[in-house]
């Protein structure tokens, strides 16, 4: 293993030196008023660069397969389009800026390092950047245990007061920070990638032991990178990108975690999707999903006029092209709700998986909304007193119960063997369904950890008898 590490280290150093030499050539001798640089390959296969004094000019002049690097803080002066197959990079550094032409960032072992916005693009009020190409807001992730996938070091940034519209074929990689009171809107066929941050990664051996016991290996995870409203129209996609410490190596693996997707379910006998949340029949049902972060790092997900369903959380770790770990909640309870609330607004949400709703999570069913829990689905609401801080590696817990509130005129229903349950036999965290009684129990399995060893713990939930629909 030591010999392997030494060889890998030598290869990585050589690659870094080559990258630095190439990028330095691109960074040399820029004019003082240069704001953006287009990099392209000429007919002889040579890399060429053209300098521009405004980003608007660079966007207008770009062609397919061009890469635009922002090399100074800039403001988009008017609405503009990022054309298909053109990439805009907001880098983590000014020197060697071309080294940031990557959708996965440079993954950095160890704890997160403090950093600042290196280059910031400002999109002012009334201005829209329309994206059918690729925007990379560059940033690097770290890989320590238990917090993994956090932003580390300097990063690219967008100060969004206006709007970004990600259209079909467009991709937005929010690996640095996109903030402000503007809106990112993703239309059908557009895709957003955010950092997938894990707060209780147990390390490879303990996580594998937990999963082998049919317990999902982490509970506390969230999307990060966009701290303004993200509006997803039916047919759009969101993925998380993650980096972890695994296999006792001081390196990790970037992966894409399907978080929001779409599927056509018309007349189909289907399995649960591989995405945590899925638009159902988006072409006919429409609607939106809006992710609204607050200043405390919490996010409210609002389903508006939509039909959605829950699916599996799938987490696959690859290193050097080989799969090291692959975890799916298909055979486990799926943790949900860490720093995340749900609002089902005039929408139907079909619960097709067994969910652990963690302390602090609030679910609201409003405006004639419906939460339907199907066979194979369950909603297990934790009260704070039944969720031990030993269930996750960093000892996190919340003093607030997970709650479900159902507004008058809205509904919670079950079909087949689906059920709603609480860790309180008095159902103190369920509101709007009248006085509930229990009919049976459900066991949710958690684990405690000591070193690389895990111990299974059973938590009892009480199944609620729902009122008969009128």
- In percent, the amount of the chain with pLDDT more than 70 equals 90
Q: Which residues of 99-136 are buried (b: 16+ CB within 10 A; e: fewer)?
A: bbbebbbbbbeeebeebebbbbbbbeeebbbbbbbbbb
Q: What is the pLDDT of residues 337-379, one digit of tens each?
A: 999 999 999 999 999 999 999 999 999 999 999 999 999 999 9
Q: What is the pLDDT of residue 109?
A: 78
Residues 6 or more apart in contact with residue 377 via CB below 8 angstroms: 310, 350, 351, 352, 353, 354, 355, 418
Q: What is the pLDDT of residues 222-241, one digit of tens each?
A: 999 999 999 999 999 999 99
Q: How many Å apart are CA 37 and CA 67, to the nearest integer?
A: 8
Q: What is the pLDDT of residue 12?
A: 38
Q: pLDDT at residue 25 above 50?
A: no
- In percent, the amount of the chain with pLDDT more than 90 equals 73
Q: Looking at residues 372-395, what average pLDDT do you find?
A: 94
- Residue 213: half-sphere exposure toward Cβ, Cα within 13 Å: 19
Q: What is the pLDDT of residue 105?
A: 79
Q: What is the pLDDT of residues 70-94, one digit of tens each?
A: 999 999 999 999 999 999 999 999 8
The residue to which tokens 């066979």 are assigned: 375
Give the distance, in angstroms, between the CA of residue 273 and the centroid of all CA atoms in the same chain. 17
Residues 6 or more apart in contact with residue 15 via CB below 8 angstroms: none
Other beta carbons within 10 Å of 242: 26
Q: Looking at residues 248-257, what average pLDDT do you find?
A: 66
Q: What is the pLDDT of residue 249?
A: 56
Is pLDDT larger for residue 207 or for residue 263? 207
**249 touches 308 (CB < 8 A):** no
For residue 248, name the pLDDT band (cuts at 50, 70, 90): low
Q: Looking at residues 245-273, what average pLDDT do you find?
A: 66
Q: How many Å apart are CA 62 and CA 416, to the nearest integer?
A: 56
Structure tokens at 286: 């429409």
Q: What is the pLDDT of residue 264?
A: 65
Is pLDDT larger for residue 302 or for residue 285? 302
For residue 469, name the pLDDT band (cuts at 50, 70, 90): low
Q: pLDDT at residue 19 above 60?
A: no
Q: pLDDT at residue 250 above 70?
A: no
**353 touches 376 (CB < 8 A):** yes
Residues 6 or more apart in contact with residue 103 via CB below 8 angstroms: 134, 136, 171, 173, 175, 193
For residue 252, name the pLDDT band (cuts at 50, 70, 90): low
Q: pLDDT at residue 421 above 80?
A: yes
Instruction: Give the CA angle between residues 212, 199, 376 to the nearest 5°.
Output: 45
Cis peptide before 138 (omega within 30 of 0): no
The total number of residues written for the chain in this structure: 470
Q: pLDDT at residue 10 above 50?
A: no
Long-range CB contacts (< 8 A, 24+ apart) of 429-432? 429/381, 429/383, 429/401, 429/402, 429/403, 429/404, 430/381, 430/403, 430/404, 430/464, 431/403, 431/404, 431/405, 431/406, 432/365, 432/405, 432/406, 432/407, 432/408
Q: pLDDT at residue 320 above 60?
A: yes
DSSP states of 236-252 as a string? -EEEEEE---BTTBS--
**452 touches 208 (CB < 8 A):** no
Structure tokens at 98: 């071309």
Q: pLDDT at residue 311 above 90?
A: yes
3-state secondary structure of 386: helix
Average pLDDT over the chain reads 89
Q: How many Å apart are CA 264 and CA 179, to the nearest integer?
A: 33
Q: What is the pLDDT of residue 98?
A: 87
Q: What is the pLDDT of residue 340?
A: 96
Is pLDDT larger for residue 267 or for residue 378? 378
**328 touches 317 (CB < 8 A):** no
Q: Looking at residues 12-28, what average pLDDT do you find?
A: 39
- Domain locations in the chain as residue ranges: 2-332
Closest among 229, 224, 168, 231 to 197, alpha carbons compared = 224
Q: What is the pLDDT of residue 423?
A: 98
Q: What is the pLDDT of residue 284?
A: 85
Q: What is the pLDDT of residues 107-157, one digit of tens each?
A: 787 788 999 999 999 999 999 999 999 999 999 998 888 888 999 999 999
3-state secondary structure of 116: coil
Q: How many Å apart are CA 377 and CA 418, to the nearest integer?
A: 5
Q: What is the pLDDT of residue 100?
A: 79
Q: Looking at residues 438-459, what average pLDDT do you find?
A: 95
């Amino acid at each position: 293993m030591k010999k392997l590490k030494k060889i890998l280290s030598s290869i990585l150093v050589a690659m870094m030196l080559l990258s630095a030499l190439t990028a330095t050539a691109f960074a040399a001798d820029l004019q003082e008023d240069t704001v953006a640089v287009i990099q392209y390959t000429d007919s002889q296969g040579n890399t060429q660069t053209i300098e521009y004094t405004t980003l608007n000019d660079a966007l207008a002049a770009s062609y397919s397969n061009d890469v635009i690097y922002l090399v100074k803080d800039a403001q988009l002066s008017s609405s503009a389009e990022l054309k298909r197959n053109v990439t805009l990079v907001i880098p983590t550094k000014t020197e060697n800026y071309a080294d940031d032409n990557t959708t996965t960032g440079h993954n950095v072992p160890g704890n997160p390092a403090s950093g600042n916005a290196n280059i910031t693009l400002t999109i002012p009020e009334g201005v829209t950047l329309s994206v059918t190409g690729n925007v990379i807001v560059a940033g690097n992730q770290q890989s320590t245990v238990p917090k993994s996938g956090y932003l580390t070091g300097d990063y690219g940034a967008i100060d969004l007061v206006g709007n970004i519209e990600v259209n079909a074929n467009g991709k937005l990689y929010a690996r640095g920070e996109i903030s402000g009171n503007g809106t990112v809107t993703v239309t059908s066929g557009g895709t957003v990638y955010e950092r997938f941050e894990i707060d209780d990664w147990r390390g490879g051996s303990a996580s594998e032991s937990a999963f082998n016991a049919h317990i999902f290996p982490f509970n506390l995870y969230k999307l990060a990178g966009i701290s303004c409203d993200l509006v997803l129209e039916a047919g759009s996609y969101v993925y998380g990108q993650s980096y972890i410490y695994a296999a006792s190596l001081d390196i990790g693996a970037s992966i894409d975690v399907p978080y929001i997707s779409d599927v056509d379910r018309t007349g189909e006998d289907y399995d649960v999707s591989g995405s945590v949340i899925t638009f159902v029949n988006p072409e006919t049902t429409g609607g939106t999903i809006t992710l609204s972060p607050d200043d405390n790092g919490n996010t409210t997900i609002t389903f508006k006029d939509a039909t959605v369903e829950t699916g599996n959380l799938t987490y696959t770790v690859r290193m050097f092209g080989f799969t090291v770990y692959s975890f799916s909640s298909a055979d486990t309870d799926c943790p949900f709700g860490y720093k995340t609330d749900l609002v089902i607004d005039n929408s139907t949400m079909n619960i097709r998986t067994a969910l652990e709703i963690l302390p602090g999570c609030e679910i609201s069913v409003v405006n004639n909304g419906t939460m339907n829990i199907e066979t194979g689905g369950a909603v297990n609401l934790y009260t704070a007193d039944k969720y031990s801080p030993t269930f996750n590696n960093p000892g996190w817990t919340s003093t607030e119960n997970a709650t479900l509130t159902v507004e008058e005129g809205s509904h919670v229903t079950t079909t087949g063997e689906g059920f709603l349950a609480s860790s309180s036999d008095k159902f103190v965290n369920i509101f709007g369904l009248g006085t509930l009684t229990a009919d049976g129990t459900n066991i949710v399995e958690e684990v405690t950890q000591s070193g690389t060893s895990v111990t299974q713990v059973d938590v009892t939930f009480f199944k609620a008898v729902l009122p008969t629909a009128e």
